[in-house]
Structure 1
Amino acid sequence: MNEEEIVEKLQKLGLTKYESLAYITLLKLGPSKATDITKESGIPHTRVYDVLSSLHRKGFVDVMQGSPRLYKPVNPEVVLEKIKEDFIEDVENLKVAFLELYREVHGEDLPEIWTIQGFENTVERAEYVIRTAKHEVLINTPFEFLKLLKSEIRARKDIVFVIISNFDEIPDWLKGNNIILARSGGAPWLMASWIIGDIDYALFFGALPKDKRREKFYSFWAKSPKIIQNYMHWFYTIYLDNSEIIKPLNYATAPKPLSLVNIRTLITVLKYVELPRKIEVIGRLVDTKEPVTLDGEITEYEYTPLTANITVNASGKEWKIGGIGSYFEDVEGEKFILLD
């Protein structure tokens, strides 16, 4: 990235052009006098003190008192992390404020499904699903689209991916220890593409567009645990169960603890490891809906198109634990944390 591009990005973060130039100059020179900064950056001498004072207020520069006064750049990692934290906090506060404004007028929650227009907007939403997931991402899509998500997938080593695509071979960027790969097979592949993050977000679309129709492309964006719960079930029973696993998760080298929210993802992992396995389950008792946390060992599992559950020995008792929406089992599991 050249200096002009850096200045442009700093301006997007709220710095003026002169402030951006001054900070970049200090990173090059280290602690410096105002006159040195003027010579190196081209900032007019009449402006440089105001610029440096503003950078000090914004947390980019420390002032070293003395004669002459020196200005020292604050560590960029510290500065950017603070900006990131403030930005995230502002976004969360805006989300709350926007929801309150919406409900004042409409008296209801936001719709659970939205239509997304434009192929580029769909790609951005898919990237967002991957970026914001905390536990797992399920992807069923042609390799042509999967390649567009390469950088986001490579950046997430801390979550589990289950990816179904029309693979010819496995590229290096999909060989991570945290990735399960399946080669699509049969008619179910022709139905749709899905990108699902935890039970928070899901993106759905049909055939990929031709170049001339990219702006007319439509996809569907869901933010509803009840709907996404069904999507996750379909992902496994329609797509994964009709596909060939070509790369299981490398459980031995995957980071522990390993947290998942989908019972079928958990069992897909367990199929390639020996039992028993230590686990912590967070969920609710099916009969009373009371919160419960169980620490124990998985001794077996059951997996069919209609049923998915694990058996856990905990607190001197054998528990049947299913996923969200369970009603046959003892516990409705909301989070599954594999400990060893």
Structure 2
Amino acid sequence: MENDTNPTTSLISYLKELGLSEYQSSAYIALLRRGTSTAKQASTEADIPQSRIYGVLEKLEGQGFVTIQPGRPKKYGPVDPERAIAQYTRHKRAQFDERINEVEKLGSEFLEETSSALSRWKGSDEMDIGWSYSEKEHIRELMREICERTESEIRMMTTAYSFRRLANHHKESFADRANEGVDIQILLASDEPLNDAVINTASEWADIRMAESVEGKIYLYDNEEIVLAYRTEDEDKYVGFTTRSPYLYQTLSHLFDLLWEQSSPLPA
């Protein structure tokens, strides 16, 4: 923020950007100028109606900017600016944490109610919805999100090139899922050179085999979720398609099983 010719105006602007109201900002700066004051003195110095000044000063105390000295009349002193900002930061952080907890609690309640409602809505569990995505980065990010919520199995049928890029971007997610007991199987096309470093790392968390014919890229998650990816006519463009369908999953998983039986282990 640029300096103002009037320091009071400039300082009030800073405090307002921090989240204080006009009256709160003016009252604190007035106390810094004047020092410890009665409410009436602070009201006059800050040009705030006396009917409002008490609430303003009490709010400032709660935010860490003002101390209140008991007596008749009460007196209000400004907290040192450095300490005031530190206290205000803690105050805002506590408010933020409280709001996050509220969001998490409400979110859990919403999910519980949604689960109950979906179980009652006829046909909802049989509804297959497909979504398509373009751009490689978007597709990889989508697959990372799906991977991180997978609980039982991941089955991939892909090219060595695509797997190398996927493994480099998501190796931590794959390793974490494997450590949680997720079974990861990977079928790679045998007509592409393998990257030894990638394969050695991936072998720690996945069972990898080579197949003679892998034309498409199929990724299966948790007996339901499916991602298909393929290049468009433009060699630099990709399209990803995702859907949740236990019926389609069963068909593709059967295809995977057939290819897995015909595949060969990684070369020694």
Please report the TM-score for the alignment, with normalisation by the length of structure 2: 0.52
Aligned to 2:111: 92
Per-residue deviation, 1:227: 1.9
| Structure 2 residue 161 is matched with structure 1 residue 144 | yes
Aligned partner of residue 227 in structure 1, secondary structure: helix
Per-residue deviation, 1:93: 4.9
| Structure 2 residue 135 is matched with structure 1 residue 115 | no
Determine if contact 2:153/2:223 at 8 Å carries over to the other structure: no
Per-residue deviation, 1:144: 2.7
| Structure 2 residue 203 is matched with structure 1 residue 175 | yes
List per-residue Cα deviations over 1:160-211 (Å, max 9, x = no partner): 11011246244242021x42101231xx312x11111121211123347757
Aligned to 1:165: 188
Q: What amino acid maps onto 2:95 in structure 1?
A: S
Aligned partner of residue 189 in structure 1, secondary structure: coil
Aligned to 1:39: 82
List per-residue Cα deviations over 1:273-311 (Å, max 9, x = no partner): xxxxxxxxxxxxxxxxxxxxxxxxxxxxxxxxxxxxxxx
Q: 1:213 aligns with which of 209, 212, 237?
A: 237
Aligned to 2:44: none
Q: Distance in 2 between matches of 1:37 and 1:209?
A: 66
Distance 1:56 1:165, change over 3 A: closer
Per-residue deviation, 1:86: 4.7
The gaps in structure 1 that reach 5 residues or longer are 1-16, 20-33, 60-81, 248-340
Distance 1:49 1:88, change over 3 A: closer
**Radius of gyration: which is bigger?**
2
Q: Distance in 2 between matches of 1:183 and 1:199?
A: 22
Determine if contact 2:231/2:237 at 8 Å carries over to the other structure: no
Distance 1:58 1:113, change over 3 A: closer
Q: Distance in 1 between matches of 2:210 and 2:161?
A: 14
Percent identity, aligned pairs only, is 11
Aligned partner of residue 124 in structure 1, secondary structure: helix
Aligned to 2:254: 233
Determine if contact 1:18/1:51 at 8 Å carries over to the other structure: no
Report the structure, 1 or 2, having the larger helix content.
2
Aligned to 2:264: 244
Aligned to 1:72: none
Q: Distance in 2 between matches of 1:96 and 1:168?
A: 44
Q: 1:224 aligns with which of 229, 245, 260?
A: 245
1:325-340 equivalences in 2 (<5 Å) = none
Q: Distance in 1 between matches of 2:233 and 2:113?
A: 34
Please report the TM-score for the alignment, with normalisation by the length of structure 1: 0.42
Distance 1:138 1:129, change over 3 A: same
Q: CA RMSD in A?
A: 4.3
Q: Distance in 2 between matches of 1:220 and 1:211?
A: 17
Per-residue deviation, 1:150: 2.8
Aligned partner of residue 51 in structure 1, secondary structure: helix
Q: Distance in 1 between matches of 2:217 and 2:157?
A: 5
Report the structure, 1 or 2, having the larger strand content.
1
Determine if contact 2:155/2:220 at 8 Å carries over to the other structure: yes
Aligned to 2:50: none
Distance 1:94 1:142, change over 3 A: farther
Per-residue deviation, 1:53: 5.2
Q: Distance in 2 between matches of 1:233 and 1:195?
A: 13
Per-residue deviation, 1:233: 0.5
| Structure 2 residue 147 is matched with structure 1 residue 130 | yes
Per-residue deviation, 1:145: 2.4
Determine if contact 2:228/2:241 at 8 Å carries over to the other structure: yes
Q: What amino acid maps onto 1:168 in structure 2?
A: L
The gaps in structure 2 that reach 5 residues or longer are 1-16, 20-63, 66-78
Determine if contact 1:129/1:202 at 8 Å carries over to the other structure: no
- How many matched pairs? 183
Q: Distance in 1 between matches of 2:161 and 2:107?
A: 32
Aligned to 1:322: none
Aligned partner of residue 151 in structure 2, secondary structure: coil
Q: What amino acid maps onto 2:260 in structure 1?
A: L
